[in-house]
A and B are shown apart, each in its own frame.
Chain A
Amino acid sequence: MDIARRRVGVEGRVSHVDYQVEYELGEREWRDVYLDYRQFKAVQVRGGVFKLPFGLDENTSPTNLDFVYRARISARLAPGRDRGVSVHGKVLKGGVISYEGGIFGGDGDNARPGSSQRVFGKRTMAARVLAHPFRGSKSFLSSLQFGGAVTGSEVPLGFPAIRARTVFGESFYDSDLWVYGHRQRTGLEVRWQPRRASLQAEYIRLSDERRGQSVEDGDLTPLVAQGWYASGTYALTRKRNRLGLLEAAARYETLSFGSRSRGVEPSTSARADAVLGNLLRVTTLGVNWQPNRWVKLQANLIREAIGSPSMGPSPEQAAFWSRVFRLQLTL
């Protein structure tokens, strides 16, 4: 049994300024700490520590997640939180387009090094644009939203701190490869919630330049980590049912690490142009039960399959199953 999150916080509004302060008791660290000036719908300004505008799943509150764990690309490739300032708002016909763009001190806590020798992105620009083309209409597409996001930062010389990990944190690929240069993330996302169902999908690609890192001090092709997921839920009961909300959920996702180079023998060398990468495929089946607004129970059956199991936690085993239960209490 593991207590994943124990957070206390306050949030509220004073005049045109929203504020939020949240502290993680388990890890003893501040989470969201920011002020958000929201006088105008089209242009609002936020400053402090908060999540970079990148990633649909990553920017979904933990209380609203459809699965016990976020998708691998969200946990590993999306930036997460950092100190920064952003401008955001909704424009065009009542907010058909929403946007957020900002500048941050680093490229998020998901990319932070676990050891001091590993490197991450320094000052980071991030932007995300979402379209809700049918917002406010009576069409069955009214809930459809899609969009894209990018981040850009410079990574100093070193091994990248972004690591390949299974759902339960086991390594399936050692990113002991020299990187130096520009880091770019690109994300695409779509979400649609027709009646009792919900569908969402996301793609994230992260590339790190390797300037001057070949054995002859020349450039290597960038390292690329990428993946996608598609997930859906279906409400088996209506919310006002006395049983509460019961829904079934399923998700399929991939996360791969490698390099852009093709056509030559891949290698585990820290200076290989064609990197011997690895791929993780995860299938999750779940049931969510929310008997009331304070309690949520989730049960997930997870199958993980590793492309090259020799790099994984169990070299003889390419695929393994896990079961997870989660009780969420929200006050």
Chain B
Amino acid sequence: MIRVILLFVLLAPTVARAQSSDEFFDGRTLHEIHLYVHSRDLAELRARYWEELYVPADFEWRGIRVRNVGVRVRGLATRSDIKMGLRIDFNRYTAAQAFLGMSALILDNALKDPSLLRERISMAFIKRMGQPAPRESFGRVYINGSYEGLYTLVEAVDSAFLARELGDGLGYLFEHRFIGGFYGEFLGEDYAPYKLRFEAKTHELEGEYTLYAPIRELFREVNQDVDSVWRERVSWFVDLPQVVTHVAIETFLAEWDGFLGGSGMANFYLYRPVQTNVHRLIAWDRDTTFQDPETRLFDRVAENALMSRALRFSDLRTLFLDVLESCARSAAQDQWLENEIAGAHQLIRDAAYADNGKPSSNEEYETAIAHLMSFAQRRPAFVLDEVAKSR
């Protein structure tokens, strides 16, 4: 008996350490996150929610407590002092501190999504289609013991993410900052407008030339007139097949706030490996997907300087349609999309009902779920039909 107890005591810490980020992002589990924030800091965080104000906090998941993390309110259209979208930086105050290997975590409040599901289901689909996307799961978030609401737990796009997804975490990563009305035009010789729209997330201390010259050249070449050299020159600065694939997946998901966003390009990262000038896109923030299941395939393509030129090339247009067709078949295969939505709904329903900070009533939540189910049932057939017509 003593031996059994001793063995258990010896094993217990090992079990605690064995928690992995894969378990944290297990989409079949509804997690519980506890944040501890001093009452004064919490009041200040809510009062100044529009600022990039960090406050110290302790973070806890399954008994693992990470002390002295930095917390700030995040989001643009989803900024709120009631149900705050939060960014947790584990290493803000303690150098090299990490949680399950992650230096940061996003607690997405999903304020634009009455179903609360779009973000996680969309990212799961993007990953299913072979594109890099942050891992996500759902969690009940408590601040000082009080239920803040149901959140989507989102992996930060950083060097660790890049290393895992692309096998290279050493390159230049830029987060696109939405300031509206940018459809890929050439913004001039000065680096300032590029710097304004593309915030360096790695190599931040390097000079403007190193960081922004390839981005400036990308948009210069995208907007040059000579068709015969357009493709070659643009390909020096962007992976065109990857961009076309990225946009095709967005199109299948009927995203209206993505690379072909209605108010300009939005919600993506740009990544450039060290040894090359070729950029690629990484998806971010997918809580406005699943709009009208009959959204046309080429909506807003003409508005975007890059995509409008790229789809003039027959092989890229074929790729665009191929990816759309693959998306439709993959979503419909074994009713994958329907099952994902149904499973996630079952998982979060009670937590969503108890979430008083969500943007909708419980009836509106159910209506939004019904819309998603309808989308999952109708979208694949519509896309396949449209693809066939477009070939």
Interface set, chain A 171-222, CB cutoff 8 A to B: 213-217
Q: How far is the CA of A104 from the CA of B53 in the complex (A)?
A: 38
Q: How far is the CA of A213 from the CA of B68 in the complex (A)?
A: 13
Q: How far is the CA of A215 from the CA of B58 in the complex (A)?
A: 7
A214 neighbours in B (Cβ, 8 Å): 38
Residue from the list A216, A217, A264, A267 in contact with B93, Cβ < 8 A: A267
Closest to A268 in B: B93
**B-to-A contact residues, CB < 8 Å:** 36-39, 41, 56-58, 67-68, 70, 92-94, 97, 144
* Interface SS of chain A: loop
Q: How far is the CB of B80 from chain A (nearest CB, A)?
A: 22
**Chain A residue total in the interface (Cβ 8 A):** 16
Q: Are B38 and A267 in contact (CB under 8 A)?
A: no
Q: How far is the CB of B65 from chain A (nearest CB, A)?
A: 11
Q: How far is the CB of B335 from chain A (nearest CB, A)?
A: 45
With known contacts A215-B56, A215-B58, A264-B67, A271–B38 Cβ distance under 8 A: yes
Q: How far is the CA of A271 from the CA of B41 in the complex (A)?
A: 10
With known contacts A215-B57, A215-B58, A264-B67, A269–B94 Cβ distance under 8 A: yes
Q: How far is the CA of A268 from the CA of B70 in the complex (A)?
A: 10
With known contacts A267-B68, A269-B56, A269-B68, A215–B97 Cβ distance under 8 A: no
Q: Are B94 and A215 in contact (CB under 8 A)?
A: no
Q: How far is the CA of A264 from the CA of B97 in the complex (A)?
A: 12
B70 neighbours in A (Cβ, 8 Å): 269
User: A316 an interface residue at 8 Å Cβ cutoff?
Assistant: no
User: A29 an interface residue at 8 Å Cβ cutoff?
Assistant: no
* Interface SS of chain B: mixed
Could you jot down 27 A-B contacts, CB within 8 Å?
A215-B36, A215-B37, A215-B41, A215-B56, A215-B58, A216-B36, A217-B38, A217-B39, A264-B67, A265-B67, A265-B68, A265-B94, A265-B97, A267-B94, A267-B97, A268-B93, A268-B94, A269-B56, A269-B68, A269-B92, A269-B93, A270-B56, A271-B38, A271-B41, A271-B56, A271-B68, A272-B56
A266 neighbours in B (Cβ, 8 Å): 94
10 pairs of A and B residues whose beta carbons are closest in the complex: A269-B93, A267-B68, A269-B56, A269-B68, A267-B94, A215-B36, A267-B93, A271-B56, A268-B93, A272-B68
A271 neighbours in B (Cβ, 8 Å): 38, 41, 56, 68
Interface set, chain A 255-314, CB cutoff 8 A to B: 264-273, 276
Q: How far is the CA of A185 from the CA of B36 in the complex (A)?
A: 32
A268 neighbours in B (Cβ, 8 Å): 93-94
Q: Are B93 and A215 in contact (CB under 8 A)?
A: no
Q: How far is the CA of A269 from the CA of B37 in the complex (A)?
A: 12
Q: How far is the CA of A269 from the CA of B54 in the complex (A)?
A: 10
Closest to B66 in A: A265
Q: How far is the CA of A216 from the CA of B58 in the complex (A)?
A: 9
B37 neighbours in A (Cβ, 8 Å): 215
Closest to A215 in B: B36
Interface set, chain A 104-144, CB cutoff 8 A to B: none
